[in-house]
Amino acid sequence: MAITTVVLNILLPPLAVFLKHGLSGTFLISLILTAIGWLPGVIHAFIVND
C-alpha cells in the first residue's frame, strides 16, 4: 500500500475508496460509514483498499 493511500485512508476515507474502486456500492458504503463516524469510515477504507 502506497503512503498516499494510507494518508488518504486516514484523512478522507471516501476519496481513497473512490480512487481505487470508482463510483460503486463500495464508495457509497464508505460515505455512509464516514457520515456515521470517522473511525468506521477509516476502518472500511483500510479493509477495502488492502
Spans of all domains in the chain: 3-48
| Mean pLDDT in residue range 23-47 | 96
Sign of the alpha-carbon torsion through 10, 38, 44, 27: negative
Grid coordinates belonging to 5: 493511500
> What global pTM score does this model have?
0.89
pLDDT digits (tens, 9 = 90+) for 18-33: 999 999 999 999 999 9
Band (pLDDT 50/70/90 cuts) for residue 40 is: very high
Distance CA 24, CA 39 (A): 21
Q: Is the pLDDT of residue 50 over 90?
A: no
R_g of the chain computed on alpha carbons: 9
Residue recorded with cell 456515521: 36
Mean per-residue pLDDT over the chain, rounded: 95
